[in-house]
Amino acid sequence: MAYLVLIVGVFLFLYSFTVMARKQKEVTTSSSLPRGITDTEKDVKPFQDAFYQNVKHAAVDTGMLYELKEKVEMQLAELREQKEMVTYLMMRVEKKLAAHDDKAPEKTARNQKEHIFSAEYLERARLHNDIYLLYDQGIPLEEIARQVGRGKGEVQLVLGLRN
């Protein structure tokens, strides 16, 4: 949209410039004009050159933008293809999962019991956690051993297994 406005502006400028040039030719034929008015042609020439350079750069920029647009459109098309492929594969996986849901084995009571931790395991985990916390607070090994009621060697072993 911005390029359209730019192009329309350029055309309007060129049209107004040609109209002014015609009028200037009509006016300059008269010898009664002051000298300052007849010198405008020399003043307009640098402006024309700068304007044509800007138009040339705008054309180059427009070409680059069209190339960029084509690249983006190609990448977008590739992404759409990949999206369709992923959607298709997801649908296949969902169908296979739905077909195998009926065949899924039920958990037995034995499998469920395996996930229940023993009291001894929980007590040992609590002891290790207490040792880790005390050690992280900077308490010496002898003091940790006294507080948890274990030997210094056992505390060192627990801390050694941590790392």
pLDDT at 160 over 60: yes
Task: Note the pLDDT of residue 3.
Answer: 82
Shared domain for 50 and 85, answered yes or no, is yes
Tally of domains in the chain: 2
Q: Which residues of 126-146 are buried (b: 16+ CB within 10 A; e: fewer)?
A: ebeeebeebbeeeeeeeebbe
pLDDT at 34 over 60: no
Shared domain for 86 and 128, answered yes or no, is no
Residue with tokens 């040792």: 131
Task: Note the pLDDT of residue 120.
Answer: 85
Domain of residue 94, residue span: 40-99
Q: Is residue 133 part of a domain?
A: yes
Neighbours of 150 (CB within 10 A): 16
Q: Is residue 28 part of a domain?
A: no
Shared domain for 47 and 93, answered yes or no, is yes
3-class state of residue 9 by DSSP: helix
Spell out the residues 6+ positions from residue 130 whose beta carbon is closer than 8 angstroms to its own: 147, 148
Q: Model confidence over 49-79: pLDDT tens digits?
A: 778 788 777 777 888 888 889 999 999 999 9
Find the mean pLDDT for residues 147-151. Answer: 91
Shared domain for 139 and 89, answered yes or no, is no
Q: Output the pTM of the full model.
A: 0.32
Spell out the residues 6+ positions from residue 55 whose beta carbon is closer than 8 angstroms to its own: 10
Q: Is residue 125 part of a domain?
A: yes
Q: Is residue 72 part of a domain?
A: yes
Q: Is residue 23 part of a domain?
A: no
Q: Model confidence over 85-143: pLDDT tens digits?
A: 989 989 988 888 888 776 655 655 555 556 677 788 888 889 999 999 999 999 999 99
